[in-house]
Amino acid sequence: MPKRILKLWISALLMLSSTQLFAAELFFDRQNNNWSKAGNAVSEEAYRGEIKNGVPHGTGTGTLPDGTLFVGIFKDGRPDGMGILNLPDGSRFVGPVKNYRISGDGTIRFPSGNMYVGQFKNSQPWGQGTLVQSDGEKYEGQFVEGRFEGQGIYQWNDGRKYKGTFQKGQPKGEGNFLFPDGRSYQGQVNNEQFNGEGILKWPDGREYSGTFVNDQLDGIGSYQWPDGRTYYGNFKNNKLEGRGIYRWPDGKRYEGELNDGIPHGSGAFFFPNGEKYVGDFRYGSEDGEGSYTWADGRKYSGEFRNGQLNGKGSYSWPDGALYTGEFQNGIKQGKGVYTFADGTRYIGEIKENQPDGRGSFSFKNGKEYTGDVRKGIMHGNGTLIFGDNRKFTGSFKDGKIDGDGVLIWPDGKKYTGQFSESLPDGAGTLAWPDGRIYTGEFNKGVVEGRGQLTWSNGKKIIGNFKKGLINGPGELNHADGRKYIGNFQSGKKHGKGTFSWPDGRLYMGEFVKDFFQGEGTYIWPNKDRYQGNFIKGIPQGKGTYIHADGIKFDGVFRDGLPWRGEEIDSTGKQIRRYAFGRSVE
């Protein structure tokens, strides 16, 4: 039937239905099961319209005691065909009716203002149809017993749209959601909510694929960001919660536990340059026990706090070096043990990543140091034991012995005084096990400068020293009273000097390697004296021997005796002559 004719027919029926309904021409007697012209429209079925063979047939209007009204086609006494059916609840149906029941496709309007157009069964929406609600919401799809059931499309007045499976009037099963803000969902649904497996997409490019519970991301799933980040793992109440894998577009990767979208608990962080952290996290930062490995092979294992090395731990280098001890704010700080690649070991205080404070060094060459350290080297006061068991106690500067201190040798030798560049330098005292003691100046580890050397027997030498030996002007005092004042060379009397004995003997003159040699004068306690040349402490060569009584010999001496010359008295008179060591009258 053309739509225009159908509209005209419906309009005619509506005009008919608006006439007086109770001036019925026929009434139905249910006891006798027949129609009659007499009856009660309030308690009996009534009809007004076309009649055939005494029963309603054709176009007419019928009413029931419960208020049901039908305007349309009757056949053989019953509504049977197109018409308008007004139901007691206020609903109005336009379409095929049979015996006051909806019997085919049509349109029904409810008192609420809702309108349904589609298929019916048992007077209920059943099959394919469209429901438009008074608030503007709309459903188009399958119905069963008046409910949404099967496949359909529902549009909310807030702009939401669902296309998929319905059960018992609610979205349930597989379906698609579209939202006015541009979001879209495809997956399992229950009671208008995402429940089960599905995919949720945001207009900014974000996407989640996984499990939902009551519209919440909840369970196992994957999440993608438009900037290239991805996450796969556990979700809870729309948050990344539990264990998962988080990846960044630059190659970073986190595997482990999360809380509210950030690492929290145990996990591992991998960096694109090869570095990695494995251990505890707290609110996004390394916190607790863990290990960090650098791309160059360095590794730290220990305690972390707020993303930094904090507490106790061990730090190793690829060359074999190792530090075990305390850390603060990412640096080695506190107390610890350093083992260096060359085998050197340090135990003590650490400051700003290096030994600093009080500590002990054990060196590969056998040296042991205990004392003050600054910036990784010996500095301040301390004790150093050498590999040969020498022991120094005193001042250090920039890794070397410098300042005042005491150096003791295994054989008992001891130096007390000033040092520079790890050597005795300046004023000091050196004592030997045999009782010798030197007090004076040192230069680069050698006795050199002004000083005094004393022996255990009382012997003493005072003067300038060079390379450990007296050199230049000096004074030598023997324990028995002998005394030398004069020049020295390489530790020996050499040059001009004076040697005296406690018995009154005296030598004044030249010395060579501790011997009277050269020109000199030897005086005896009785005032005898020899004046002349000496060789190795003996008069040799030209000389004069003068006796206290004035007699003198002037000539040549050999092996300490007159060899050739003459002896004269105090008046100048010759007493005798000598030739070849013999007296010649």
486 falls within a domain: no
Instruction: Reply yes or no on whether the pLDDT at 271 is more than 90.
Output: yes
Query: What is residue 585's predicted lDDT score, i.e. its pLDDT?
Result: 66
* 21-31 residue pLDDT tens: 333 489 998 88
Q: In the predicted model, what is the mean pLDDT of residues 32-51?
A: 89
Q: In the predicted model, what is the mean pLDDT of residues 81-103?
A: 95
* 383-440 residue pLDDT tens: 999 999 999 999 999 999 999 999 999 999 999 999 999 999 999 999 999 999 999 9
Q: Which of 1-15, 99-113, 269-283, 456-470 has the lowest mean pLDDT?
A: 1-15
* 62-78 residue pLDDT tens: 999 999 999 999 999 99
565 falls within a domain: yes
553 falls within a domain: yes
- What would you measure as the largest C-alpha separation in the chain, in angstroms? 215
Could you tell me the residue range of the domain that residue 508 belongs to? Answer: 503-585
97 falls within a domain: no
Nearest CA to 74 out of 94, 99, 42, 91 is that of 99
* Burial class for 297, CB neighbours closer than 10 Å (0-12, 13-18, 19+): exposed
**Beta-ladder partners of 568:** 552, 574
Decide the pairing of beta strands 469-477 and 331-339: unpaired
* 197-253 residue pLDDT tens: 999 999 999 999 999 999 999 999 999 999 999 999 999 999 999 999 999 999 999
Q: How far apart are CA 473 and CA 205, in angstroms?
A: 99
63 falls within a domain: no
Q: Which residues, other chains included, contact 526 with Cβ-Cβ below 8 Å and sequence gap of 6+? A: 548
Percentage of the chain with pLDDT > 70? 96
Of the pLDDT bands very low, low, confident and very high (cuts 50, 70, 90), residue 13 is very low
560 falls within a domain: yes
Of the pLDDT bands very low, low, confident and very high (cuts 50, 70, 90), residue 16 is very low
Q: How far apart are CA 416 and CA 407, in angstroms?
A: 6
Instruction: Name the pTM for this structure.
Output: 0.68
Decide the pairing of beta strands 469-477 and 460-466: antiparallel
Decide the pairing of beta strands 115-121 and 106-109: antiparallel
> Is 292 in contact with 299 (CB distance < 8 Å)?
yes
Instruction: Report the CATH number that the domain containing residue 546 is assigned in CATH.
Output: 2.20.110.10
Q: In the predicted model, what is the mean pLDDT of residues 331-356?
A: 96
Query: What is residue 389's predicted lDDT score, i.e. its pLDDT?
Result: 95
Domain count, the chain: 1
Average pLDDT of the chain, as a whole number: 93
Q: In the predicted model, what is the mean pLDDT of residues 264-270?
A: 97
91 falls within a domain: no
Query: What is residue 572's predicted lDDT score, i.e. its pLDDT?
Result: 87
Instruction: Reply yes or no on whether the pLDDT at 116 is more than 70.
Output: yes
Instruction: Reply yes or no on whether the pLDDT at 327 is more than 60.
Output: yes
> Is 252 in contact with 272 (CB distance < 8 Å)?
yes
Instruction: Reply yes or no on whether the pLDDT at 4 is more than 60.
Output: no
193 falls within a domain: no
Query: What is residue 23's predicted lDDT score, i.e. its pLDDT?
Result: 39
